[in-house]
Structure 1
Amino acid sequence: MKHKLLLILLVFLPLVGCDRYTKQQAVIFLKGQEPLTFLNGFFSLTYHENTGAMLSLGAYLPENIRFMIFTFLVGVVLVGGLIYVLVKPMNKVNFTIGLLILSGGFGNLYDRALNDGRVVDFMLLQIGSLKTGVFNVADVAIMIGLCGFIFASSKWGRQRINQSG
């Protein structure tokens, strides 16, 4: 249990805090402004409010349906997921992977609750005409967690994790 508390303090809380802080800074410095581009257009800071899920999926649903799905149901799933990772015995790698996904989920849920159902996104990557959707720190945590989950679920990943203790 000590390692779980330590990882919550080192992974979960800082990620939620960093997500919150960067979204506040995006509102202050980017809202209503032209995008800021860096690295010859590869990285941009641009303000966007997303009422849907990833890539604005579901953004055009009626507001009450969006609330039920993206706030209520996601909140229930996140609380259930948090209880699961706290109660289930698991190694540090899998616990950290769970915390990454949950911290991103809670970061976006918190933003949705404070921002009338909208999530602030502000980062964009682009190579030529190929570009990502606009995203935030919570989204990065979720994606890293999902990549970790895929790795940990693979035969090679399970072997590597078991070898490390």
Structure 2
Amino acid sequence: MKLSRNLSIALIIIANIAIDQISKVYVRSTMTEGARGKIDVIGDYFQLIWVENEGAFLGMGSDMNPTLKLIFLLILPTIVLGYVIYYIVKTKTLDRLSLIAFCCIVGGGIANVFDRIVLGSVTDFFFIDLGWKLKTGIFNVADLSVTTGMIILIFSNFLSKKKKSTIKS
């Protein structure tokens, strides 16, 4: 049985939101917030550290006044996410990889906006430190979805350009 395109879009977005929200509920119910509740998953290289992020990426904007937070962390992202959903539903020419990428981006974005609306902050808990300057800020599954979506989108764009240049040759 082949799923309709719009049902596939909805399922991918919902799966991204669900996995993120389940992971956050688990972290909030089983961990102690902050560095004292740190769990070493793979030594110092991969750790779980629960923090509540009141800003955006890497806490940027956490010190903004409430009106600016409302505009830049809730209203604008909601408008952008709405537009991307409209775009992927209406643009029937998107290749499968790009469609999956946009769905990951939207699912992760919705999950983090949901946290901001319901909790006033975003629950983050993954931390990777591979030494030297190869370390991340603390992030979550939604951030991973958005980042993965962006990487897939870049890869898909590269593939489609390569295909077009091969066809022209």
In the alignment, the residues of structure 2 paired with residue 106 and residue 149 of structure 1 have an alpha-carbon distance, to the nearest angstrom, of: 18
Q: Does residue 36 of structure 1 match 2:39?
A: yes
In the alignment, the residues of structure 2 paired with residue 23 and residue 52 of structure 1 have an alpha-carbon distance, to the nearest angstrom, of: 17
**What's the CA shift string for 1:106-129, capped at 9, x where partnerless?**
01011111112x100011001235
Q: 1:84-163 counterparts in 2 under 5 A?
A: 84-89=87-92, 90-116=94-120, 118-130=121-133, 131-154=135-158, 156-159=159-162
Q: Could you tell me how far 1:8 is from its partner in structure 2?
A: 2.7
Letter in 1 for 2:8: L
SS at match of 2:129: strand
Percent identical among aligned pairs is 23
Letter in 1 for 2:32: K
Q: With structure 1 as the length reference, what TM-score do the two structures score?
A: 0.88
SS at match of 1:145: helix
**What's the CA shift string for 1:100-154, capped at 9, x where partnerless?**
11111001011111112x1000110012354200000000000011111211222
Q: Which has the larger radius of gyration?
A: 2
2:65 is aligned, of 43, 56, 62, to 62
In the alignment, the residues of structure 1 paired with residue 50 and residue 66 of structure 2 have an alpha-carbon distance, to the nearest angstrom, of: 22
| CA RMSD between the two structures | 2.1
In the alignment, the residues of structure 2 paired with residue 31 and residue 79 of structure 1 have an alpha-carbon distance, to the nearest angstrom, of: 35
Which residue of structure 2 lines up, in the alignment, with residue 5 of structure 1?
Answer: 7
In the alignment of these two chains, the number of paired residues is: 160
Runs of 4+ in 1 over 6 A off after TM superposition: none
Question: Residues 160 and 29 from structure 1, CA distance in 2 versus in 1: closer, same or farther, beyond 3 angstroms?
Answer: farther
2:54 is aligned, of 51, 55, 69, to 51
Question: Residues 136 and 66 from structure 1, CA distance in 2 versus in 1: closer, same or farther, beyond 3 angstroms?
Answer: same
Q: Could you tell me how far 1:7 is from its partner in structure 2?
A: 4.1
Q: Does residue 82 of structure 1 match 2:85?
A: yes
